[in-house]
Structure 1
Amino acid sequence: MPNADNWQGDVLRDLGGASQQGERRPRAAAHDAGAPSQGPDLATPGGPAQSSGAATPGPGAPRRPEQPASYAPGGGPHRNTPDSRPVVDDALTGAIRKPRHGEPLVSRAAQAVRRIVSSSAAREVTEITRTAERLQQPVRTGRQIAVTSIRGGAGKTTVAALLGTTYAHYRQDPVLLVEADPALGSLPLRLGSPSLRWTTGDVANIVEPQMSLLDITGYLVQLPDNAWLLPGSQGRIGAMLDTRAYERVMVSLRRYFGVTVVDCETLPAEVARVALSAAQARILTAPATLEGVTSTYNVLEWMQGLPRHVIDGTVVVLTEQVPRAGIDLGKAAQRLQSTGAGVQVLPYDRHLAAGGAIRTELLARSTRQAATRLAADVFQLSQKRR
């Protein structure tokens, strides 16, 4: 019997006329408030994915639950076990240069001196504490945040990786990063995963409602800070992910993870549209260029014709890909905000611009601040939608 509190089903049904998703309803494995028989509540102590309830640690040293033991999947409904493949080909490992810090040494030294002699240090600590408290709020059902863009090279995967690692650092419940870009997705590379095996399409045929968190994580790539990755493919061109498989994975896994960040295909791909529809918050990345802002504004105008909560729960992230943007970011942000969407800027960072695995300790201070602020704001938006 359909669950009247199924937020994904409601959203997909509301948007059915535009994306023709009305006939594809999420399956009944979702865990919603008021339906405890479908799985443990994230806010229930002793469940497989506890959230950060009353025992919230300080922002500098968040408490972590014990990591699940290593699990080797076996005896499940799948027939063939895929071979593990390296994320970076062995022939290319020698071409990787030593990663650079996000900002020059002189700039870092000057910032350190200013923090010592300036009275703003206390205000900065206060702001960090407030942001951490927002990021550590408990959830009753898993929050899903979709990240997409209009074109490739807009920083979509970079933003998804930064969001996922930020949530994993601050939150106590497990965090999942899903790659819903199976063709040529680079999320495993950005997250520094050495190898991968199971993909989103594989898990769609395996996941069952009765599985435990330990069963599920056996098919995922473990990351630092209680985070997990579900890759979109094994790097092969031609890999496919249809909307039914995506819906099955997302509806089934949401009860295990406090926050799920989805790295989508670029619009207007069908899976990306479904991901944006079903997510409680969404991010649209765009390069901080005239072309990027113009294209994004056109998409936001289209989104204004959808139910109001879609545009209200959307944040545009303008990514600076060169040290100095070619447009006035303030005026560009005002134009985009006139549609009802939020706008934030991810500043240029030498470490991010170089590509490869993201090492948070090498990010520029301004980048870390922007990523944390973005994560907190988007999480707040997601809390407004059931």
Structure 2
Amino acid sequence: MSENAGSGRNDSFGGGSDNPWDDRALDDQVGPGEAEPQADNTQWAESATPASVTAVRRPLRPAGAGNTTKAGGQRPVSAAEPRRREDSPKSEKRRGRWLTMLRGRTAATGPGDDVALAKSIRRPLNEPKNIAFINEGGGTGKTTTAVLLGLLLASLRNGPIVAVDASPGCGDLGNRVPESKRPAGNVRSVVEGAGRIRTLDDLRAHMNRVAGGLDVLAADASTSAEAVFTSTDYVRLTEILREHYEVTITDCAAGMVSDVVEAVLDDADLVVIVSEGGDGVRSSTWTANRMMDRAEAKPKYKRLLDDAVVVVNSRHDRTKTNTAKIMDFYRNIVRAVVEVPFDQHLEGGDIIVLDKLSKNTRTQLLRFGDAVISSDGFNQ
């Protein structure tokens, strides 16, 4: 990685005033410095108000852009974003500032809102979709967030859902779900056995199917040179998965300078950028600028960024990071932003169980799922 990338600077990718992913305005908010007032832990109690930011439309998007399907019909609107008239960019920014000011102080989400979000997530898709979870840096909660979305979609949708570890080496995806009760395969066994896979059951013989119906395809944990997962392997793998799965969730390893990540982005219908704290912001902006730098050769990268969902993880109950400022930064440059609040169940790399999440986390997870299903990439 270049010196600029390591320092969090975007100068080498045109990080000037015209670059929406220039994170320098956040330096006084997310870098080291004096401690912010300590967070009130009661905000994470079951009765607390959930963090409020989801599926906020990109302010500068032209009126009506991305709102139609291939067939010419109206694109479904996010359940978290009621249909309304198009306002000016200035009004959108003003609305964003109010949402930031009201963060943590809005009326509690009621059961009816959760029901509406769940209904939105169940909307049918016209073809198989692939979601890529990316970030240049590690430790942002990317794998955890990918598993959370997979478990949610599998619990609410009828079509089969699979989460795949696309790490070139040994990834961590398989460690966040219960161990398989029978011998399971991995990405390597699927690619090598492709000629013998005819049905979904044939494919599931390689999977670890967890409670709720999510299929998990782990990375090859072997240390041999032959076990390295390549871009060619990934292309072959997704060809097989798209034949049998409604949604594929691809968990990429940290790092964007990889032919595997390029293959993932080439196949993706939607990207989810997972950020956490100051370092997470800098690695996510580097990730976006890496894609923007290549957008001339690959125009799809610009479309993926315009349609992206950013997930901001709060992985500590006490933090010096101004999360509201970070949320506001992302809200002005991507289609949807969701905050996953601190949740003790998600700490320590343990097995993830939806029923053990706090009510606040479950509500934000529903909003995350709604933002995904409402994306342009899922409605084309």
Q: TM-score, normalised by structure 1?
A: 0.65
How big is the shift at 1:225? 2.4
Over residues 319-368 of structure 1, what are the superposed CA-to-partner deviations in whole Å (9 max), with x where a residue is unaligned? 11211332222221222334335322111111111321012222111111
- Structure 2 distance, partners of 1:384, 1:144, is 9
Q: Is the 8 A contact 1:280 1:313 kept in 2?
A: no
What does 1:270-349 correspond to in 2, within 5 Å? Answer: 270-288=259-277, 290-305=278-293, 306=295, 307=299, 308-340=302-334, 342-349=336-343
What does 1:115-154 correspond to in 2, within 5 Å? Answer: 124-154=110-140
2:193 equivalent to 1:206: yes
Alignment partner, residue 248 of structure 2: 260
- Structure 2 distance, partners of 1:111, 1:156, is 25
Over residues 79-123 of structure 1, what are the superposed CA-to-partner deviations in whole Å (9 max), with x where a residue is unaligned? xxxxxxxxxxxxxxxxxxxxxxxx99x934x569xxxxxxx78x6
Change beyond 3 A, Cα 1:217–1:223: same
Q: Is the 8 A contact 2:164 2:218 kept in 1?
A: yes
Which residue, 228, 232, 247 being the options, matches 1:244? 232
- Structure 2 distance, partners of 1:257, 1:184, is 23
Q: Is the 8 A contact 1:277 1:310 kept in 2?
A: no
Unaligned runs of 5+ in 1: 1-102, 113-119
- Structure 1 distance, partners of 2:173, 2:317, is 24
2:186 equivalent to 1:192: no
- Structure 2 distance, partners of 1:303, 1:319, is 22
- Structure 2 distance, partners of 1:213, 1:348, is 36
2:148 equivalent to 1:162: yes
Over residues 62-85 of structure 1, what are the superposed CA-to-partner deviations in whole Å (9 max), with x where a residue is unaligned? xxxxxxxxxxxxxxxxxxxxxxxx
Q: TM-score, normalised by structure 2?
A: 0.66
Alignment partner, residue 41 of structure 1: none
Deviates more, 1:269-278 or 1:131-140: 269-278
How big is the shift at 1:302? 3.6
Q: Is the 8 A contact 1:146 1:281 kept in 2?
A: yes
Paired residue secondary structure (1:211): coil
Q: Is the 8 A contact 1:147 1:263 kept in 2?
A: yes
Paired residue secondary structure (2:334): coil
Change beyond 3 A, Cα 1:237–1:337: farther
What does 1:29-40 correspond to in 2, within 5 Å? Answer: none
Instruction: Indicate the percent of aligned positions where both proteins have the same amino acid.
Output: 23
Moved over 6 A (4+): none
Q: Is the 8 A contact 1:181 1:265 kept in 2?
A: yes
Paired residue secondary structure (2:114): helix
How big is the shift at 1:179? 0.9
Paired residue secondary structure (1:163): helix
- Structure 2 distance, partners of 1:237, 1:358, is 30
Q: Is the 8 A contact 2:310 2:337 kept in 1?
A: yes
How big is the shift at 1:233? 1.5
Alignment partner, residue 209 of structure 2: 222
- Structure 1 distance, partners of 2:180, 2:203, is 20
Change beyond 3 A, Cα 1:382–1:231: farther
Q: Is the 8 A contact 2:169 2:221 kept in 1?
A: no
- Structure 2 distance, partners of 1:202, 1:131, is 37
Higher relative contact order (CA 8 A, sep 6+): 2
Q: Is the 8 A contact 1:297 1:336 kept in 2?
A: no
Alignment partner, residue 45 of structure 2: 107
2:351 equivalent to 1:363: no
Alignment size in residue pairs: 274
